[in-house]
């Protein structure tokens, strides 16, 4: 049995190094994404689908839609005025 260069458990020297480089790069990318995610969550910034504060109104993008839904439910008689007021208070309006 020969033990020497290129005769390792992976069956080939260059393939083993290529595989190690690939998984090493994947681990590095994962660490970078984790650091970016932690930094964004600590700064209060969310991604494009997150609940990001609008700089002028102080309301989130879904806030206007929630208010419209509550108004529609009040108008259709689905909820009472007291329930509507509770919803508006919960929404901060």
Domain residue spans of the chain: 1-44, 59-93
* One-letter-per-residue 3-state SS of the chain: CCCCCCCCCCCCHHHHHHHHHHHHHHHHHHHHHHHHHHHHHHHCCCCCCCCCCCCCCCCCHHHHHHHHHHHHHHHCCCCCHHHHHHHHHHHCC
What is the pLDDT at residue 4? 53
pLDDT tens-digit series, residues 39-90: 888 876 555 555 554 444 455 667 888 889 999 999 999 899 999 999 999 8
Average pLDDT over residues 29-43: 89
From the list 68, 73, 72, 76, the residue with the least C-alpha distance to 93 is 68
């Amino acid at each position: 049995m020969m033990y020497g260069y290129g005769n390792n458990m992976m069956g080939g020297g260059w393939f083993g190094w290529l595989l190690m480089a690939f998984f090493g790069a994947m681990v590095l990318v994962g660490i970078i994404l984790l650091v970016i995610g932690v930094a964004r969550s600590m700064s209060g910034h969310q991604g494009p689908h997150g609940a990001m504060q609008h700089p002028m109104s102080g309301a989130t993008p879904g806030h206007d839609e929630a208010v419209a839904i509550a108004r529609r439910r009040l108008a259709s008689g689905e909820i009472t005025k007291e329930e509507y007021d509770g919803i508006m208070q919960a929404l901060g309006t």
